[in-house]
């Protein structure tokens, strides 16, 4: 008997040591549940799939935040819904954009929704935002597709059995692997971004400040004009049918002993989930570009959605609006200059369908935006129609793309006061820029600061408080070389490259002083 | 079967003596096995690239040395310290062959997990479990803890394709 126990003594001792280590780490560090994750692969010298970084980045930054409206779904919503814009039109609400990518799939959307609903009782609305063109519930986006990242997400976030395999020290995994794989910073800087993918770096520069939104970067400047349906035209019809079935797909359901559409099965699961959390389900399709109907007739799919909401009247379905194709970057992505309009579309629909009595919102707090923002040309930032940085200048500079007359810059600041925008340009370029440049925010002109020194390399403008506060401090700054204060519907490339605006740095600083609102 | 027809290990031991010949035979066998793995895993399009990379290796390893010779001459002459020149030389070699250094470190790191237990077993005239059985209770427990955390932190999260499915 004793000898049989003694054989296990090393195991018992090891178990005690592990329990001690885990308890001590948990007690001192209290790691977030998301940090105790096996979701990232973290292979030696080999980056993960980029969508995995987007998903994990959102989980680690946004999952601890309280909200009243949670948005899950594919990349169409990731790029199309700016939470501060929605919040500004829905007083008392806090919108969180957890849209990631189609490769997450519906199991992933479900796992995220379940995790957040369990964690944040303040949530009263779950929005599933998706593209009606392909990204509706169908086999390719369900759990029988092993390529879906959502399966891993579901395992990681909502599988209680696997939770046992996620001890507190798992939160140290990324730091430990970085230190060991890269010789304590010798081969890679310890706090370097997970990947140098430009889309990911743009995402990291803006996502946390704006509740999860990031501009579309698949097609960086959306010009020259192209056939946004070209990708589908080029697709093998069999592949197109497998990835985007024309009719709702069905499966045998043992519960009801009948065949049901995947749309019905999947959305019923979501509807049941939100019902358990005293919340409601809202389905919002991304706008559809004109011309798409020639390649993908959505009526059979849309009708099945309508049948579903007729059976489950507590679920809301927004119409699949048709927008002009020049407002799109690719078929399923609204182009960056139209993301504000797209966000307003979502806000208007939600405002027209307020939550039921008893779930009146009181917006949970969010991190206070900055009073001062500095955007260097040397670092990735959220903007539109900017060329790749020129690192041969000192300091590095960035120019509006050749042939373009307008560009955008995004930032989030604390609202409630005017802001001073400074634009540092290279010597010799200041006077021409000062002559040509018009700056506006949401159609409101920013007043240029007068200067005696025409050769000064810093241009300054004052952005009025009304423009700053319009969308809760989210700023979409339009820089135009032809005096426009709104993004042109039809973009042109008629400007000579030599006239392009070149910039070293942008700065935003909250203004206080006589006649201005004092800081709270 | 080649070693039955051409017993290289015996020839090496006969030529270089028991001790050195045996070590050379181990090194030779290791490289033959590595070459076999390349044949086993690489496709016909990958093989020439891998082989070109293998042939380029001596040049990659030797190229950083000539600029270092004057520094080492100072070390041998006693006018420069050994350790600073060694550190500088290593840094120079790493910077000159960045990818080689990074992936060399990776090979060393992951190879260590195989080499270390094999070596401990070899020292015990058996395999690692024989050595493990003779350890104290505390050492066995520590080994288990180390292995559990190594799996937790460094284990692959993605299932590996079974090697024989490569064909």
Q: Looking at the complex, does the CB of residue A438 fall below 8 Å from at least one CB of chain B?
A: no
* Dihedral-angle region of residue B143 (phi above 0 means left; psi in -120 to 50 means alpha; beta otherwise): alpha
Name residue A259's beta-bridge partners.
A252
Question: Residue A249: inside a domain, yes or no?
Answer: yes
Check CB contact under 8 Å for A180 and B144: no
- Return the pLDDT at A432: 82
Per-residue pLDDT of chain B (167 residues; tens, 9 = 90+): 677 788 888 899 999 999 999 999 999 988 888 888 888 888 888 899 988 988 888 888 888 889 999 999 999 999 999 999 999 998 998 888 888 889 999 999 999 988 899 999 988 888 899 899 899 999 999 999 999 999 999 988 765 445 554 44
What does the pLDDT look like over A248-278, one tens digit per residue?
A: 999 988 888 899 999 999 999 999 999 999 9
C-alpha–C-alpha distance, residues B13 and B153, integer Å: 43
| Locus of tokens 């925010």 | A441
- Return the pLDDT at A517: 47
Using H for helix, E for strand and C for coil, what is the string for A364-383? Answer: CCCCCCECEEEEECCCCCCE
Helix intervals (H) in B42-97: 46-62, 69-77, 82-96
Minimal C-alpha gap between A16 and chain B (Å): 10
Minimum Cα–Cα distance from A7: chain B residue = B137
Question: Residue A21: inside a domain, yes or no?
Answer: no
Q: Is A98 helix (H, G, I), strand (E, B) or coil?
A: strand
Helix intervals (H) in chain B: 2-5, 8-16, 18-41, 46-62, 69-77, 82-96, 98-123, 128-133, 137-154
Residue A481 and residue A514 in contact, taking contact as beta carbons nearer than 8 Å: no
Count of pairs with CB atoms under 8 A, one residue in A, one in B: 60
pLDDT category of residue A492 using cuts at 50, 70 and 90:
low
Counting the structural domains of chain B, the total is: 1
Counting the structural domains of chain A, the total is: 2
- Return the pLDDT at A227: 59
Overall residue count recorded for chain B in this entry: 167
- Of chain A, the percentage scoring pLDDT greater than 70 comes to 90
Give the range among A64-68, A89-93, A290-294, A465-469 with minimum mean pLDDT: A290-294
What's the average model confidence in pLDDT over A148-162?
Answer: 81
C-alpha–C-alpha distance, residues A517 and A278, integer Å: 41
ipTM of predicted complex: 0.80
In 3D, which of A72, A52, A73, A79 has the Cα closest to residue A331? A79
**Domain end position, chosen among A352, A386, A411:** A352
Question: Residue A34: inside a domain, yes or no?
Answer: no
In 3D, which of B35, B40, B32, B38 has the Cα closest to residue B2? B32
A435 pLDDT above the threshold of 90 = no
C-alpha–C-alpha distance, residues A285 and A290, integer Å: 15
- Are A338 and A381 within one domain? no
- Are A101 and A130 within one domain? yes
CATH number for position A439: 2.60.120
Domain enclosing residue B122, as ranges:
97-167
pLDDT category of residue A471 using cuts at 50, 70 and 90:
very high
- Are A314 and A396 within one domain? no
What does the pLDDT look like over A339-368, one tens digit per residue?
A: 999 999 999 999 999 987 655 557 777 788
C-alpha–C-alpha distance, residues A44 and A49, integer Å: 14
Question: Residue B115: inside a domain, yes or no?
Answer: yes
Strand A125-130 versus strand A280-285 pairing type: parallel
What's the average model confidence in pLDDT over A158-176?
Answer: 86
- Return the pLDDT at A83: 97
Question: Residue B118: inside a domain, yes or no?
Answer: yes
* Bond from prior residue into A224 cis (ω within 30 degrees of 0): yes
C-alpha–C-alpha distance, residues A385 and A437, integer Å: 15
- Are A385 and A320 within one domain? no
Handedness of CA B119, B124, B125, B130 (dihedral sign): negative
Residues of B with CB under 8 A from a CB of A: 94, 101-103, 105-106, 109-110, 137-138, 140-145, 148-149, 152-154, 156-158
* Dihedral-angle region of residue A338 (phi above 0 means left; psi in -120 to 50 means alpha; beta otherwise): alpha
| Locus of tokens 């059985």 | B133
Residue A187: which of B102, B148, B153 has the nearest Cβ? B102
Q: Looking at the complex, does the CB of residue A43 fall below 8 Å from at least one CB of chain B?
A: yes
Residue A45: which of B106, B152, B156 has the nearest Cβ? B106
Minimal C-alpha gap between A179 and chain B (Å): 11
Minimal C-alpha gap between B142 and chain A (Å): 7
Number of C-beta neighbours around residue A327 at 10 A: 19
What does the pLDDT look like over A204-245, one tens digit per residue?
A: 999 999 999 999 877 766 655 565 666 666 777 777 777 788
- Return the pLDDT at B166: 44
pLDDT mean across residues, chain A: 88
- Are A434 and A322 within one domain? no
Question: Residue B136: inside a domain, yes or no?
Answer: yes
Minimal C-alpha gap between B154 and chain A (Å): 7
**DSSP letter string, A288-339:** EETTGGGT---HHHHHHHHHHHHHSTTSEE----EE-GGGEEETTEE-GGGH
* Bond from prior residue into A331 cis (ω within 30 degrees of 0): no
C-alpha–C-alpha distance, residues A295 and A172, integer Å: 48
Question: Residue B82: inside a domain, yes or no?
Answer: no
- Which A positions 172-191 lie with beta carbon below 8 A of chain B? 172-173, 176-177, 180-183, 186-187
**Domain end position, chosen among A298, A318, A352:** A352
* Dihedral-angle region of residue A472 (phi above 0 means left; psi in -120 to 50 means alpha; beta otherwise): left
Please list every residue in chain A whose beta carbon sits closer than 8 Å to the beta carbon of residue B152: 167, 169-170, 173
Check CB contact under 8 Å for B157 and A10: no
**Domain end position, chosen among A317, A352, A387:** A352
Check CB contact under 8 Å for B156 and A183: no
Domain enclosing residue A93, as ranges:
50-165+199-352
For an interface test with A, give the residue of B154, B155, B161 to mutate (most A CBs within 10 A): B154
A516 pLDDT above the threshold of 80 = no
C-alpha distances out from residue A363 to A65, A277, A415, A481, A492, Å: 11, 18, 16, 39, 42
Check CB contact under 8 Å for B152 and A167: yes
CATH number for position A114: 3.40.50.1110
Name residue A43's beta-bridge partners.
A46
Q: In what order do the strands lie in the sheet containing A69-73? A: A95-99, A69-73, A125-130, A280-285, A316-317
């Amino acid at each position: 008997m004793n000898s049989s126990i003694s054989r296990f003594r090393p195991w018992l001792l090891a178990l005690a040591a592990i329990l001690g280590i885990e308890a001590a780490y948990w007690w001192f560090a209290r790691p977030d549940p998301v940090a105790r994750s096996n979701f990232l692969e973290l292979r030696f010298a080999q980056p993960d799939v980029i969508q995995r970084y987007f998903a994990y980045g959102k989980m680690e930054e946004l999952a601890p935040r309280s909200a009243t409206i949670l948005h899950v779904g594919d990349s169409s919503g990731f790029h199309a819904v700016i939470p501060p814009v929605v919040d500004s039109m829905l007083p008392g609400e806090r919108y969180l954009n957890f849209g990631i990518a189609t490769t997450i799939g519906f199991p992933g959307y479900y796992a995220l929704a379940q995790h957040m609903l369990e964690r944040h009782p303040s949530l009263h609305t779950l929005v599933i935002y998706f593209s009606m063109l392909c990204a509706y519930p169908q086999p390719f986006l369900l759990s029988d597709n092993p390529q879906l990242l959502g399966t891993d997400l579901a395992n990681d976030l909502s599988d209680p059995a696997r939770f046992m395999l996620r001890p507190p020290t798992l939160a140290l995994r990324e730091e430990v692997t970085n230190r060991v794989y890269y010789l304590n910073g010798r081969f890679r800087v310890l706090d370097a971004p997970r990947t140098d993918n430009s889309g990911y770096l743009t995402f990291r520069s803006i996502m946390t400040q704006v509740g999860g939104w990031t501009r579309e970067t698949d097609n960086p400047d959306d010009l020259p004009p192209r056939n946004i349906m070209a990708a589908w035209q080029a697709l093998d019809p069999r592949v197109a049918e497998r990835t985007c079935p024309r009719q709702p797909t069905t499966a045998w359901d043992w519960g009801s002993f009948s065949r049901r559409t995947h749309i019905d099965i999947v959305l019923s699961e979501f509807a049941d989930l939100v019902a358990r959390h005293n919340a409601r389900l809202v389905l919002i399709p991304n706008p559809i570009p004109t011309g798409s109907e020639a390649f993908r007739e959505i009526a059979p799919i849309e009708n099945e959605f309508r049948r579903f909401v007729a059976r489950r009247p507590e679920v809301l379905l927004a119409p699949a609006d048709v927008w002009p194709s020049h407002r799109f970057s690719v078929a399923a992505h609204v182009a960056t200059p139209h993301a504000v309009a797209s966000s307003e579309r979502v806000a208007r629909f939600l405002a027209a369908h307020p939550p039921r009595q008893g779930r009146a919102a009181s917006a949970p707090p969010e991190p206070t935006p900055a009073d001062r923002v500095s955007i260097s040309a040397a670092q990735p930032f959220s903007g539109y129609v900017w060329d790749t940085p020129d690192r041969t200048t000192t300091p590095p500079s960035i120019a509006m793309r050749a042939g373009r007359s307008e560009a955008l810059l995004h930032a989030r600041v604390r609202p409630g006061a005017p802001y001073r925008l400074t634009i540092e340009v290279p010597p010799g370029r200041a006077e021409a820029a000062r002559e040509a440049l018009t700056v506006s925010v949401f159609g409101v002109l920013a007043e240029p600061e007068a200067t005696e020194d025409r050769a000064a390399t810093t241009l300054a403008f004052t952005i009025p408080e009304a423009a700053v506060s319009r969308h809760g401090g989210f700023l979409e700054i339009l820089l135009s070389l032809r005096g426009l204060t709104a993004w042109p519907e039809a973009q042109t490339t008629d400007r000579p490259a030599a006239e392009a605006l070149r910039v070293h740095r942008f700065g935003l600083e909250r203004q206080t002083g006589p006649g201005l609102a004092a800081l709270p | 079967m080649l070693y039955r027809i051409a017993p290289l290990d015996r020839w090496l031991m006969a030529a270089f003596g028991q001790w050195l010949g045996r070590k050379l035979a181990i090194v030779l066998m290791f490289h033959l096995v590595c070459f076999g793995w390349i044949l086993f895993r690489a496709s016909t399009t990958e093989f020439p690239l891998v082989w070109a990379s293998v042939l380029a290796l001596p040049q990659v390893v030797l190229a950083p040395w000539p600029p270092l010779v004057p520094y080492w001459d100072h070390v041998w002459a006693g006018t420069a310290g050994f350790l600073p020149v060694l550190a500088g030389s290593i840094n120079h070699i790493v910077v000159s062959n960045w990818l080689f250094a990074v992936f060399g470190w990776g090979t060393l790191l992951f190879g260590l997990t195989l080499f270390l237990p094999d070596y401990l077993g070899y020292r015990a005239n058996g395999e690692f479990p024989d050595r493990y059985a003779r350890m104290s209770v505390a050492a066995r427990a520590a080994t288990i803890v180390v292995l559990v955390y190594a799996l937790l932190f460094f284990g692959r999260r993605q299932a590996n394709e079974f090697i024989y499915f490569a064909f």
